[in-house]
Structure 1
Amino acid sequence: METLYRLDPQLTATHHLLINGVSKAYPTANGTHVVLADIHLEVHRGEFVCLIGHSGCGKTTLLNMVAGFTAPSCGEISLNGMPVRQPGPDRMMVFQNYALLPWLTAYQNIELAVKSVYPHKTRQRRRQIVAEHLELVGLTAAAHKRPSQLSGGMKQRVAIARALAIRPEMLILDEPFGALDAITKEELQDELLKIWRTHKLTVLMITHDIDEALYLADRVVMMTNGPAAHIGDILNIPFPRPRRRSQLLEDPQYYDLRNQVVDFLYTRFGH
């Protein structure tokens, strides 16, 4: 299937993340199942990109390949011009289910990541890094609580602090706020934007929430349905930063962009 997006070989060196002709297929008893077909995407350094599409369109599969957890069946993914072959501290992933070790405290979950990436740093320096990132996400008072003692929003803060503590170049987010209530979700969206601006990270994030994508992203990448899903359209978000939610909701252009995403998901590619 021909995709709408092709990369200019003369421009590829200017991009932070490059996904070039990537497909992913799995063997099954009934033959080969193609999850993703011919994905082309360029992400600039410091850009915030949201992926949106129906369940089963391969969004998480794509993120797992960018993280290095799985390899493409064909095509190549590169970061800073170097092929992605395996996970690395330059890319950290935050999952919807937090992925915290339940027998460790918030502090210890973050410390474990810091120690694994920076084994040669002194214990005092590692403690300082952990404390700084707990403060960054507002969890200093909850440092010695285990995940079972934390709310969903607090667990996600720990997961974000753990990812940031190793100073990645890229933050990969797999629908991180999907399980949270509306108020906590909005608080963490604002906190994520503040962290993104401060640390100048590149962010690639899955969401099923159209309003979340329009509020957070520089570009919204819309995926067609699977099997053999590909990029169907890319929407540039023109709103200046920093953004205020109340101002966006008063802007007629916001509803025009929202209607474009709704039309793509529910008219052009509705189940």
Structure 2
Amino acid sequence: MVTYVEIDDPRDPRLADYRDLRDVELRKHLETERGLFLAEGEKVVRRALEAGFEPRSFLMAERWLAGLADVMATADAPCYVVSEALAEDVTGFHVHRGALASLHRRPLPAVDAVLDGAHTVLVLEDVVDHTNVGAILRNGAALGIEGVLLSPRCADPLYRRAVKVAMGAVFSLPWTRLVDWYDALPDLAARGFTTVALTLSDDAVPVEEAVAGVDRLALVLGSEGHGLSDRWLRSADRRAVIPMQAGIDSLNVAAASAVACYVAARRG
């Protein structure tokens, strides 16, 4: 059962999981080292608990306790009850949604487990912005994607900002990291997927044409700045572009993922 503990000292060592949340590099190191991730906001905390993630602790202002009391009731973890001013002092920002939870990470599933039974997946290469990764997972979950594979340098889907933007989709949409980045696309082709790379290459065809008639489809998106690497562009089965009006040559990668997923969900 959850235990409620009132804390009025921002230096209390029990609040260590929640310190300096705005320091991205520090947090990435600490969260990996401690095997934890943070969920922010009532809806996201609820979805993490409902997905079965084990909490380490909760940090909440008193007015947010009632809204999560039902899902916290069976949690074997402390809930640190603090003032909103103290929460801001500890975290480094205004926790305007009032609730934070520190949860244990799980081992990442194998690629085979993510792809098992899937007919439409996303493959991300070096998408380094946490907001974009979160938005892509949210788009994918909403538009019929069944799994996501990330190259080793992609941003962490369980980083607080990514989890928040994804609105908990990271808990329901299967995802993992690729071990073999170099041959990832040929490996997908060997598993029966047609890999379609989103690119501005001259030989790219409209995305509707590229995905038409494809049974098992892997949509491939590249980094925010340079797009896909030459290796992945060369090894993709097809190259596709989202047709746009003159004068605009590209979309943000998260927006492009939404368009591509929408088209893929309606492919004939």
What TM-score do the two structures reach when normalised by structure 1?
0.23
Greater radius of gyration (CA): 2
| Greater RCO structure (CA 8 Å; 6+ sep) | 1
TM-score normalised by length of structure 2: 0.23
